[in-house]
A and B are shown apart, each in its own frame.
Chain A
């Protein structure tokens, strides 16, 4: 509660002195444990700001809305550490200028919310480096371990079962801050790389392509997973790919705004034990 009040005051101050033109935060949602994004432009709007442990959505995707940052004015945003990583990736991929983003960092343990030091993405580098060394515990999921233990056939069956429910609503894509493309490959029909019917084959292709495009870019914020209306455990695939690039290329997505995209760069001594 104290954190929320303090940040409310800060947002009001920064809006009043013109340091930021808007702050993106949270407000109450349709149920007590749900939060909705809040776009604060005035002191009154700041009154609606809520900051508690249920504020889980990674809001960074709103920053790349067409035109929001084109006037070069600064925008504030409430972010958990994963969100800060998103800012770094978006900056590294030239979708925004990190200097234009004022970060109101927070994190929570249980129901306790605490503020994080720093206002610009750069100031979080110490924290992010720590995160790289000890990845989030919550993703040591039993399900992930179970899948890893399956043989190929069982795994295929497991995922087909999951993907068979996919309705290709693309909510996962819309929720993801990294899916900023003007045209998604799935919408490209010359040629139609991804089958768009909701047969499992096309569902499988879509989810594979999505995961591949997020490899080395996903920060495990969980937006896609929460957005999925049929509860496909998308976080598991993303987590698996994050592990892959960390183990294989020592790449922890979003460590800094100058980090080279892992799949657009290489090292001559990259591992190649799998190549015949």
Chain B
């Protein structure tokens, strides 16, 4: 039996809701998969599509983006702007061959520690089932040798 694939997942979260939700999962001692690395930002509005590309370049097999529920944004509507951007960027990635299965978006409030834990588990499981992002890894590997042009 082959060893279980452990995907690498990068999460971009806002500090007011999802980061606090992740802290709550911790203080509640909930257990979840150790595959996700969190990058904390003030607001989902700060999360630029470039971050997602860089996470992929760093070898992530999946990316998670999460913030406050609509109406709950500490900055009143940063998350509404983010939502539009995500929708467009997600479609763009999908069209160019990066499956929406690999880049996920969620709303998690500061009170949703268990939702956070469940989500990390389910996202990890989904990406594990998809397997390593070999195609992207191949692109990364190419950059180690000189460019052809």
Give chain B's interface secondary structure class: helix
The 8 Å CB contact of A153, one of B50, B97, B104, B143, is B97
The 8 Å CB contact of B139, one of A199, A212, A215, A244, is A199
Interface centre among B53, B100, B140 (most CB of A within 10 A): B53
Among the stretches A33-41, A100-108, A174-182, A262-270, the one at the interface with B is A262-270
Q: Is B84 located at the chain interface by the 8 A CB criterion? A: yes
Q: What is the bound-complex CA distance between A202 and B139, given in angstroms?
A: 9
Q: What is the bound-complex CA distance between A50 and B92, given in angstroms?
A: 38
Q: Is A197 located at the chain interface by the 8 A CB criterion? A: yes
Q: Are A276 and B147 in contact (CB under 8 A)?
A: no
Q: Are A209 and B50 in contact (CB under 8 A)?
A: yes
Within 8 A of B (CB), among A154-168: 154-160, 167
Interface size class of A (residues with CB under 8 A): 35 or more
Q: Are A152 and B99 in contact (CB under 8 A)?
A: yes
Interface centre among B83, B100, B135, B148 (most CB of A within 10 A): B83
Q: Is B33 located at the chain interface by the 8 A CB criterion? A: no
Q: What is the bound-complex CA distance between A159 and B107, given in angstroms?
A: 31
Q: Are A197 and B95 in contact (CB under 8 A)?
A: no
Q: Are B70 and A268 in contact (CB under 8 A)?
A: yes
Q: Is A21 located at the chain interface by the 8 A CB criterion? A: no
Q: Is A24 located at the chain interface by the 8 A CB criterion? A: no
Q: Are B105 and A276 in contact (CB under 8 A)?
A: yes
The 8 Å CB contact of B148, one of A198, A207, A244, is A198
Q: What is the bound-complex CA distance between A232 and B80, given in angstroms?
A: 34
The 8 Å CB contact of B92, one of A200, A215, A266, is A215
Q: What is the bound-complex CA distance between A205 and B139, given in angstroms?
A: 11
For B98, the chain A residues whose CB sits under 8 A away are 152, 156
Interface size class of B (residues with CB under 8 A): 35 or more
Q: Is A208 located at the chain interface by the 8 A CB criterion? A: yes
Q: Is B91 located at the chain interface by the 8 A CB criterion? A: yes
Q: Are A276 and B104 in contact (CB under 8 A)?
A: yes
Within 8 A of B (CB), among A250-276: 262-268, 270-272, 274-276
Q: Is B29 located at the chain interface by the 8 A CB criterion? A: no
Q: What is the bound-complex CA distance between A199 and B139, given in angstroms?
A: 8
Q: Are A155 and B97 in contact (CB under 8 A)?
A: yes
For B4, the chain A residues whose CB sits under 8 A away are none
For A197, the chain B residues whose CB sits under 8 A away are 143, 147
Q: What is the bound-complex CA distance between A271 and B94, given in angstroms?
A: 17
* Chain B proximity of A264: nearest CB distance (Å): 7
For A152, the chain B residues whose CB sits under 8 A away are 94, 97-99, 101
Q: Is A248 located at the chain interface by the 8 A CB criterion? A: yes
Q: What is the bound-complex CA distance between A267 and B149, given in angstroms?
A: 45
Interface centre among A199, A200, A211, A241 (most CB of B within 10 A): A199
For A195, the chain B residues whose CB sits under 8 A away are 57, 143
Q: Which residue of A lies closest to B71 (CB)?
A: A268
Q: Is A171 located at the chain interface by the 8 A CB criterion? A: no
Beyond contacts A268-B71, A276-B107: 6 other A-B pairs, Cβ-Cβ < 8 A, are A154-B97, A158-B97, A159-B96, A208-B96, A244-B87, A274-B87
Can you show 25 pairs from A to B with CB atoms below 8 A apart? Answer: A152-B94, A153-B135, A154-B97, A156-B98, A160-B139, A193-B50, A198-B147, A199-B139, A202-B143, A208-B49, A208-B92, A216-B88, A237-B96, A240-B91, A240-B92, A241-B91, A266-B83, A268-B80, A270-B84, A271-B87, A272-B87, A274-B100, A275-B83, A275-B105, A275-B106
Chain B residues with CB under 8 Å of chain A are 49-50, 53-54, 57, 70-71, 77, 80-81, 83-101, 104-107, 119, 135, 139-140, 142-143, 147-149
